[in-house]
A and B are shown apart, each in its own frame.
Chain A
Amino acid sequence: MGEADRRSIAAYNYPRFDEYVAAGGDTADEDAFRASPWAGQRAPDFTLPRLGDGAQVSLSGLWQSRPLVMEFGSFT
């Protein structure tokens, strides 16, 4: 992992919410949402590990046969 990757990971996983807001991180996130694919556009495909069994699950494998509902979240 290079220095740029380490910086990117540290910025994404901010340790303090108030500092993130003070730096405009929250408004940048709102902008990122508005810039994300719109209805009718092709959804980005990812393959991620499933909690529990660690199986690699591809989104395209899931939406191939039926609609896929995805909720993003954390503890809060």
Chain B
Amino acid sequence: MFIYTREAHPGENVGHHDSFERKLACAKLLAGEAGIGRDILVDDLDGAMHRAYGLMPNMTWVISRGGRVAYKANWTSAANVEAFLGRFLAGRAGHSPGTMPVMYETQQAEFRYTDRKRFMQHLARNGPRAVAEFEKAQQLWAERAAT
């Protein structure tokens, strides 16, 4: 399932959403260009679901059967999600006689690998302003890191 949120880097070609109709149109454009095969749900204009799950631009969450959070990641790594799902489903199903599965919680930091060239192409798709504003944001992040 893919949840379409606000545009993280609005530009001249794909701008910020000022109506739900515009948000729907952007979601349709994205589905076509990115070839997203999964179902896409479109959040409301105020981002009610996005807010409830934490506002990061490219999170992945896994909700277990019954509705409890099984996995949350502030950035998406498909390989990590796949590995987690394999462990989680196998862990629930597989246990030796005389034992029973008991859920516990973990918190881990992991690495993901960003494709800088591809990301910049996506920014450019949104428009030159999206590229320029990201470059300005990078300067701001560098200033923050220096203080």
Contacts and interface: CB of A to CB of B under 8 A. Distances in A.
Interface string B45-78: 1111111111111111111111111111010100
Given A32-B55, A33-B74, A71-B3, A40 B60 contact: no
Interface residues of A, number: 56
23 contacts: A13-B16, A13-B47, A14-B16, A15-B16, A17-B130, A21-B136, A29-B57, A36-B53, A39-B106, A42-B68, A44-B53, A48-B44, A67-B64, A67-B65, A67-B89, A68-B62, A70-B63, A71-B76, A72-B56, A73-B5, A74-B5, A74-B8, A74-B57
A66 B65 contact: yes
Interface string A10-49: 1011111111011000101110111111111111111011
Name the 4 nearest CB pairs between A and B, nearest first: A33-B54, A36-B54, A18-B136, A48-B41
Interface residues of B, number: 80
A37 B38 CA distance: 24
Nearest to A36: B54
Contacts of A46: 43, 48-49, 52
Contact of A73 (B57, B70, B141): B57
A44, A45, A75: which has the most chain B beta carbons within 10 Å?
A: A75
Given A5-B46, A38-B105, A63 B66 contact: yes
Contacts of B18: 10, 13
Given A17-B133, A50-B40, A74-B8, A41 B45 contact: no
B2 A68 contact: no
Contacts of B125: 75
A12 B74 CA distance: 18
